[in-house]
Amino acid sequence: MTRFIWIAIFSSFFFSVCKEKTTEPPKEIKPVLKISYPFPKDNEPNADRIELGKILFFDPIASGSNWISCATCHNPGLAWTDGLKTAIGHNMKVLGKNTPTILNSAFGSKMFWDGRANSLEEQALGPISSPDEMNQNPDELVLELKKIKGYQDRFDRAYPNEGISRETIAKAIASFERTILSSRAPYDVWLQGDNKAISESAQRGQALFKGKANCVACHFGDNFTDDGFHNIGIKSKEKDPGRFKLVPVKSMKGAFKTPTLRDTALTAPYMHDGSYRTLEEVIDHYDRGGDDLSNLDPNMKPLKLSPEEKKDLVAFLHSLTGKNVPILIPELPR
């Protein structure tokens, strides 16, 4: 019964999911990236798949303890993060990485800070099967779900002739995650010609972002990310190889994935290790040109920003925050 008790923790959040058989995100989200999002040929989204994935995302049955769900770390009330410096996993173990938002993950090509997963389907089972995170054997999860008629019916509708399996669990969760998209922010309104949509300070910050601060070297496009990996000179007590563990070339040593800046004002703490609590601290880091210079990305250089320029950059980053999307916790199958 613990998986049902857990739901009370999030009962103050509300969400609605698109009920139409379409690849378009829910209308109320008003995405700013693309009208439709990319998906694998063998996992074309529809209402049944999205709803099933949503239920699995919030159901703590996905963990070995029946207490942790995907939403434990990716809380919709915290911009799909957990608000912690680094995540807390199975048996309250403090983990080594900050929880990234899943916002706009539909457009990413590499998942996790080191990019070890090539799709949301591949990513979905990673935390579930990790002994440090959710500590669930995916095969045992399959057996648990098969005992619940409500899940049997939903899998039959979402993935007819495929049944309940590791693969369909991952597909469903990925289908839901692809619907978590950024909403229209003041910056987008300003781009469309409304000069009063963002402050003069934010407008100066946008010019700095593209110019003197050179943030666009890594944060560009509608999603403000190059989906690449960079060593930005984070000085940590423990040396983390980052992307180098998978791609053993010098430039990848200590390199981590570039996060989206959409809703970034809501996703503190920042960096892969959660070492900065505020956007001001992040900008100070870049202004210094990083702290650990041993394998620094060539784009990292001291910026020599004035106090006012730093404030303008912060104002611009705040302009990338869209309106909150109501979240409704689903009823769990029985």
Q: Where are the chain's structural domains?
A: 47-179, 186-320
Q: How does pLDDT run across 180-212, given as a tens digit for each residue?
A: 999 999 999 999 999 999 999 999 999 999 999
Q: Tell me what the mean pLDDT of segment 73-99 comes to.
A: 95
Task: Point out the least confidently predicted range of 114-123, 220-229, 234-243, 311-320.
Answer: 234-243
pLDDT-derived band of residue 35, with 50, 70 and 90 as boundaries?
very low
Q: Check whether 34 has a pLDDT greater than 70.
A: no
In percent, how much of the chain has pLDDT > 70? 90
Q: Which two tokens stand for residue 255?
A: 């390199």
Q: Check whether 331 has a pLDDT greater than 70.
A: yes
> Can you say whether residue 66 is alpha, beta or left, with left for phi > 0 and alpha for psi between -120 and 50 degrees?
left
Residue type, 6: W
Choose, from 51, 133, 177, 309, the residue flagged as catalytic.
133
215 is in an annotated binding site: yes
73 is in an annotated binding site: yes
Q: Which two tokens stand for residue 5?
A: 């008790």
Q: Check whether 22 has a pLDDT greater than 70.
A: no
70 is in an annotated binding site: yes
**pLDDT at residue 292, rounded to an integer:** 92
pLDDT-derived band of residue 215, with 50, 70 and 90 as boundaries?
very high
**pLDDT at residue 30, rounded to an integer:** 43
Residue 133 is a catalytic residue: yes
Q: Which CATH topology does 47-179 take?
A: Cytochrome Bc1 Complex; Chain D, domain 2 (1.10.760)
Taking the C-alpha atoms of residue 75 and residue 222, their distance in angstroms, rounded to an integer, is 24
**Would you say domain 186-320 falls under CATH 1.10.760.10?**
yes
**pLDDT at residue 154, rounded to an integer:** 97
18 is in an annotated binding site: no
In percent, how much of the chain has pLDDT > 90? 83
pLDDT-derived band of residue 236, with 50, 70 and 90 as boundaries?
confident
**pLDDT at residue 38, rounded to an integer:** 82
Q: Check whether 242 has a pLDDT greater than 50.
A: yes
318 is in an annotated binding site: no
Q: Check whether 24 has a pLDDT greater than 90.
A: no
Task: Point out the least confidently predicted range of 35-39, 50-54, 162-166.
Answer: 35-39
User: How many other C-beta atoms lie within 10 A of the C-beta of residue 163?
Assistant: 13
pTM: 0.86
First to last CA, the chain: 11
Shared fold status for 47-179 and 186-320: yes
Q: Check whether 5 has a pLDDT greater than 70.
A: no
Q: Tell me what the mean pLDDT of segment 234-241 comes to.
A: 86
* Residue 186: strand, helix, or coil: helix
Q: Confirm if 266 and 79 have CB atoms less than 8 A apart.
A: yes
pLDDT-derived band of residue 334, with 50, 70 and 90 as boundaries?
confident
Phi, psi of 256 (to 5 degrees): -130, 160
Closest CA to 198 of 186, 206, 207: 186
Taking the C-alpha atoms of residue 30 and residue 92, their distance in angstroms, rounded to an integer, is 37
